[in-house]
Amino acid sequence: MAAVTPPARTPVAPVQDRPVAPNAVLAAALLGFVVISLDALVVNVALPEIGNDLRGGIAGLQWIVDGYTLTFAALMLSAGAFSDRVGASRAFAGGLAVFTLASVACGLATEMWMLVVARLVQGVAASLTMPASLAMVRQAFTDAHRRTRAIATWTAGGAIATTVGPAVGGLLTSAWNWRVIFFVNLPIGIIGLLLLRRAPHSPRRAAPLDLLGQLLAILGLAGLTIGVIEGGSRGYGEPEVIGAFALAVVAVVAFLIVEYRREHPAMPLGLFRVRPVSVSIVAGFAVNVAWYGTIFVLSLYFQKVLHRNAFVAGMMFVPATALVAISNLFVAAKVIQRFGPRLPMVIGQAGTVAGLILLLLVDASTPPALVALVAVPVGFAGALAVPALTALLLGAVPAERAGTAAGVLNTIRQVGGAIAVAVFGALVATRAGFSAGMRISLVIAAVVLGAAAVVTLVALRGAGRPS
């Protein structure tokens, strides 16, 4: 699912030090956003091939996904402020260049740890590229009408990338090998950087950075993920695993204390006192638990249990991801305008819970096409709930805090996905067997999302159709 689109923090005019070609700037920003959105999902269907080639187990495959997602999520807290300080065009150029080089390193990896490290670097670069790409679009288009159309195009690019990600990953892996899914980022990155030559140098703004809070957030998320993933493979009684969980607890407590006392925190805790904001964040976390966790286990299921190749596995996700893209682009806004955010959020979450329950009936004898059809309702949360919860969040905070609130929401959504991959991966690797672990994972996803639906229904009572 495409990331939440944060509004610009402070409208500023671009520095006109070179001729500006707004469409070229949009094209560069779009390529950057597409490639980082694509890499969030394109790798999933290639995981079995990667595991076979690099001789890695489930823990290594979990890190390939979570290495990218976690660094992307954690650093999003400060990425917007950093982009403001150095200028959006400089931040975008640096982020896209590093992302492109890290992609090449992924494709050249000969050991599992090399690929994981390269994915971590990709996540760092993606966290910088995403907010900078949107800021560049806002600066390049000074006319409000053209700017709205440009932002809609930018948003659509992320939605489309999410839709085709699994299919592209499966096609490239089946036609060549898994390394190609990373090498294709090289020409995309080069074209994006060449187009950037037509962008003006963005102005800099003295945005405050909460470096201590950012460091504690990274330590907390890393400790939690290490504990879950390594605990699943080594056992939760191992000293290293216990130490990882202890680090997570200490870091999270310290993070909350620091954020409470900071004048300019990376995550303003006061936001959580606003009920619509808290509901949006709870729902966003739950949606990503269900979405990314389900895609992770189903990608392995299609190939390990149903014994389908990567291309077929990728195509299995097209109906569900297409529902998300089509609804995001053409349906969600109209539904939200007519009924308000509460109804589409509840319908989206409840529809996804129904899809997860249906998936519990799937077994090795189920035709793959039927599995793909049954998986379609899992896309309802992304199709209806995500646009609605985003609108709810942005409508509940002042304009000057909208960028910060969107950054917090996007961070916590990505954390939900990362935790789901860690937990579900540990479950499918148990002695009970893959199918049993997958069913337990689906039950957990359904319970988490069902609870979020109840919270939405109760907490937003009275927040119905807009006047």
Tell me which residue of 137, 103, 183 sits closest to 28, measured CA to CA. 137
**Mean pLDDT, residues 168-194 taken together:** 88
Looking at residue 7, what DSSP letter applies? Answer: P
pLDDT band at 183 (very low <50, low <70, confident <90, very high): very high
Note the pLDDT of residue 256.
Answer: 92
Q: What is the largest CA-CA distance in the chain?
A: 64
Note the pLDDT of residue 200.
Answer: 67
Q: What is the mean pLDDT of the chain?
A: 82
Question: Over the stretch 198-231, which tens digit does the pLDDT of each residue have?
Answer: 666 666 666 677 788 889 988 998 888 888 888 8
Question: Over the stretch 263-310, which tens digit does the pLDDT of each residue have?
Answer: 888 788 888 888 989 999 999 999 999 988 988 888 888 888 888 888
Residue 87, Ramachandran bin (φ over 0: left; ψ between -120 and 50: alpha; else beta)? left
Tell me which residue of 277, 398, 295, 286 sits closest to 341, measured CA to CA. 277
**Cα 363 to Cα 358, 367, 374, distances in angstroms:** 11, 9, 12
The C-alpha angle 219, 222, 223, rounded to 5 degrees, equals 80
- Look up residue 16 and give its two tokens: 């006109």
CB burial of residue 400 (10 Å; 0-12, 13-18, 19+): exposed
- Look up residue 229 and give its two tokens: 């993933």
Looking at residue 432, what DSSP letter applies? Answer: T
Tell me which residue of 159, 30, 78 sits closest to 408, measured CA to CA. 78
Contact 297, 353 (CB under 8 A): no
Note the pLDDT of residue 42.
Answer: 82
Between residues 8 and 377, the one the model is more confident about: 377
pLDDT greater than 90 at residue 116: yes
**Mean pLDDT, residues 379-389 taken together:** 80
pTM for this prediction = 0.82
pLDDT greater than 50 at residue 360: yes
Tell me which residue of 131, 129, 137, 126 sits closest to 200, measured CA to CA. 137
The three-class DSSP label of residue 57 is: coil
Question: Over the stretch 332-343, which tens digit does the pLDDT of each residue have?
Answer: 778 887 888 888
Q: What angle in degrees, to the nearest 10, is found between the helix axes of 88-108 and 58-86?
A: 160
**Mean pLDDT, residues 341-348 taken together:** 88
Q: Which of 16-30, 42-56, 104-118 has the highest mean pLDDT?
A: 104-118
**Mean pLDDT, residues 384-412 taken together:** 78
Transcribe 173-226 into DSSP letters.
HHHS-TTHHHHTHHHHHHHHHHHGGGSPPPPP------HHHHHHHHHHHHHHHH
Looking at residue 112, what DSSP letter applies? Answer: H
pLDDT greater than 90 at residue 114: yes
| Cα distance between residue 328 and residue 100, in whole Å | 28
| Cα distance between residue 75 and residue 122, in whole Å | 12
Using a pLDDT cut of 90, give the percent of the chain over it: 21
pLDDT band at 460 (very low <50, low <70, confident <90, very high): confident
